[in-house]
Structure 1
C-alpha cells in the first residue's frame, strides 16, 4: 500500500518515539500516536487509519480490548501486534484478531527493528470490510431463493488442489457463486445458510451437483479425468432419499463414484448424528470419498475423527496460515498431522497463501495443498485451460 497511515498505540513515550523513528526511516509519512486504547479509538473515529502498531500492555484499555473494539466498530483492518510478553500470549492474541477478521501483519517482540517492520508493512493489502462482520444471516424472501435455484442463477467456480512434490493438479473443489441482480454478489456462507433455513438446501445442492457433473463429463470428453470435491450440508445427510438421489445423479452422468469426494463439516446443524453417519457410510460403500472439511475450527474438531467415516481430512486455514511464524501453532499442526496419518487419512492443507507456510507443511508430511499460493478459484473455462496445460506438462515429463 502506498503511503499508509499508521497509528502507534504505545503508553511508553520512549518506545512511542522509537517506533515513530523506525517508521520514518521506512518512508512512512503519515504517523499518529496514542498512549492507550481509549485515545486510540478516538483517533480512529476521526481519521482513516490503514495500520495500527499496538502494544498489548497499556493502562485504561489494553491492546486486547482495543483489538476487539476496533473489530466491533470496523475502524481499522490491519494490525501489527507488539509486546515484551511471551510468544504464546502474542500468538494467542493474533489468532483472536484473525478469527475476528483483522489482517495481522506481524507479531513482534520488543525491541522493534526496522527490518521486521518493513516485512510486516509489505504484507498489507487493500481490502474492504468483509461482510463476515455482520454475524447475523441476512433474511431473504423464500421466493427469491426459490426463483434463483429454479432459474439456474447459481454458478460454480473451481479451485485446484495441488501436489507440491510434482506441481500437478490432483483434484478440484467446486465452489458455489450467486450474483443477484438487486443485491449483488452474495457470499456462499450466507446463501447456503439461508437455503438451510428455508428448507431449500437439498434442491440447491442437486442443481449445483448437476452443474459439476456436467463439467466433469465435458472434461472427460476431452481426455481430462479430474477428481472433484463437492460440499454437502450436514442437514442433507439426515434425508435418506436425498442421499440415494446423489447416487442416482452420478450414475446418470456416467461418472465413477471414485472421482467424487463429498466434503462435510460438522456444525450445530449436525443434530441427527446416527442418520448422518449412516448416510456417509453408505456413500463410502458406494465408492465415494468423504472428507472432513474445515478441520481445526470450532465444530470441526478431534471428535469427528472418531465418528465420521472419512477418507480425507482438510486442515482449515486457521491451522495452516502463518504456521511458519508461530511455534505453538506448528506444534498443534504437527500433532494433528501425526494423528491423521495414524488413522489412515489423507490430508489437504487449505488456505495456503505463503511459501514459508507451504514449506513447513511439506516438511511435516503434507504434500497436497489448496490456496492462493497455487490457484485462486477459477471459472469453469479458466479451469479447463489450466487443467489442459497441467495435463500437457505431465505428458511431457
Structure 2
C-alpha cells in the first residue's frame, strides 16, 4: 500500500465503541495521528489549540452537548476548513441533507456514510483526499490574490488572448468512443497563477465583459474544433451560454459569423443553457434560442435538476440534450433516492428524444450505473480532467490506441 496522503484525523463521536472502531480502521490504513473528541464543543476546543488542522475530520451527527450539524456551522463561523466525513446511524436522507448543507456552505466534504464505516469505505475516502494538508486556519486572506483581480485586468486579459479554453471529454457509455468536449474557460495569470472561474465569470457578468469573454473562448474553441475536423477527428463542442447574452438581439448573428470564419458546421456546436438563464427578457431569450436551433446549433439544458423550473424550461425551449447535474450522479449507486431521481430523469429525456449527458462521474461504480440506466454520454474526472487543446489531442490519440489494442487482443 502506498503511503496515505492523510496523516492526522480527528474523530468526533460520543460513542466510545464507534471511536475505537474508527481508530482501528485508520490504523489498518496506515494512519496513526489520531485525535478524539466526544462532541462538537470538545472538538472546537481541540482545534483551536492546534497549530495545524487535521487532514480529515470524521464527525457523527447525533451527540449530546453540540451535535454534528451545529459543529459544522461553528466550523464555518470560525473559518475552520478541514475536509469532513459525516458518519451517522440516522437515516440516509438526513445524512445526505447535512452533506448538501455543508456543500452549500462551501465546507470541503469528502463523504457522507451511514454507520458502520468499513475499511473499503475509508480507503475510498482517503484515495480522494486532498494532496496537500489544509492551512492552519482559513482566513479571508486565503483567496486575496484572486479577489484582488479586477475588471480592468480581466478586460486586458481578454483583449490579449490570455484566457484559454480547456477541454473535458465526453464519452459514449456504450462504445467507449470520444464523441465531444465541454469547453471551460481558464485564466492562467502570469503572477497570480490560475484565477478560478467562480471569480472571473461573475466578474465578467457584473462588468459587461461576458460578451467579449464568450466570443473569445468560443472563437478559440471553434478554431481548435476546425483543426481537429481537418485531421479527421469530428467532435461536438459544448460551450456555456451566459443568460446575459440571451438578452442581446445581435448575439446569434455574431456567433454565426464566427462559425463561418472557421468553416465549422453548426451541428458540431452545442450551447449549454442553465435552468435559470431565462429569468429576464424572456421574449428575446426565447427568440435567440429558437434562432440558434434554426441555424443547426444544439441546445443543452445544463445542470438539470438544480433549478425550480426544469419542466417548464423543457416544455418551451427546443432542447436537443439534457445534462444531469453531478449532485444526482456521484455516489448514486449507494443512495436509493438518487437512483430513483436519476432513472426518472433519463427515462423522461429518452421519451423526449433528448441526448443525455451525465457530468461529475468520478468512480467506476458511477460509470456502470449510468450505463445500466441507458445514459448516452459521460463526463467527469473518472474519464479525464479538463485540459488544454494540445494536451487533449495527445490524450485522444492515446485513448484510440488503447481501444484498438483491446480490439486486436
Of 242, 261, 269, 1:260 maps to 269
Worse-matched range after superposition: 6-15 or 147-156 = 6-15
The SS at the match of 1:291 is: strand
CA distance in 2: counterparts of 1:21 and 1:320, whole angstroms = 31
CA distance in 2: counterparts of 1:392 and 1:186, whole angstroms = 34
1:239 to partner: Cα distance: 0.4
Structure 2 vs 1, CA of residues 206 and 344 (structure 1 numbering), >3 Å: closer, same or farther? same
1:122 to partner: Cα distance: 4.0
Give me the TM-score of the superposition, normalised by structure 2. 0.87
1:171 to partner: Cα distance: 0.6
User: Counterpart of 1:280?
Assistant: 289
Q: RMSD across aligned C-alpha pairs, in angstroms?
A: 2.8
Alignment of structure 1 residues 1-397 onto 2, 5 Å: 1-2=4-5, 4-47=7-50, 48-126=53-131, 138=147, 140-267=149-276, 270-298=279-307, 301-389=310-398
CA distance in 1: counterparts of 2:5 and 2:93, whole angstroms = 32
CA distance in 1: counterparts of 2:275 and 2:125, whole angstroms = 35
1:250 to partner: Cα distance: 0.6
Structure 2 vs 1, CA of residues 22 and 151 (structure 1 numbering), >3 Å: closer, same or farther? closer
Give unmatched runs, 5+ long, in structure 2. Answer: none
Q: Could you list the per-position Cα deviations for residues 139-176 of structure 1 after superposition, in whole angstroms to 9, with x for gaps in the alignment?
A: 65432222111111111111111112211100111111
CA distance in 2: counterparts of 1:143 and 1:24, whole angstroms = 52
Structure 2 vs 1, CA of residues 51 and 285 (structure 1 numbering), >3 Å: closer, same or farther? same
Q: Could you list the per-position Cα deviations for residues 98-155 of structure 1 after superposition, in whole angstroms to 9, with x for gaps in the alignment?
A: 4444454443433455554444434423256899x97xx9465432222111111111
1:3 to partner: Cα distance: 5.2
Structure 2 vs 1, CA of residues 108 and 286 (structure 1 numbering), >3 Å: closer, same or farther? closer
Worse-matched range after superposition: 48-57 or 121-130 = 121-130
Q: Could you list the per-position Cα deviations for residues 221-267 of structure 1 after superposition, in whole angstroms to 9, with x for gaps in the alignment?
A: 22222221111111001101122111121122211111111112133
Structure 2 vs 1, CA of residues 79 and 392 (structure 1 numbering), >3 Å: closer, same or farther? closer
The SS at the match of 1:69 is: helix
The alignment covers a number of residue pairs equal to 395
Worse-matched range after superposition: 77-86 or 384-393 = 384-393
Give unmatched runs, 5+ long, in structure 1. Answer: none
Contact 2:99 2:109 in 1 (8 A): yes
Worse-matched range after superposition: 221-230 or 72-81 = 72-81
Contact 2:19 2:36 in 1 (8 A): yes
CA distance in 2: counterparts of 1:235 and 1:293, whole angstroms = 16
CA distance in 2: counterparts of 1:335 and 1:238, whole angstroms = 33
1:367 to partner: Cα distance: 3.1
CA distance in 2: counterparts of 1:393 and 1:96, whole angstroms = 41
1:344 to partner: Cα distance: 2.0
Contact 1:152 1:207 in 2 (8 A): yes
CA distance in 2: counterparts of 1:15 and 1:394, whole angstroms = 46
1:94 to partner: Cα distance: 2.3
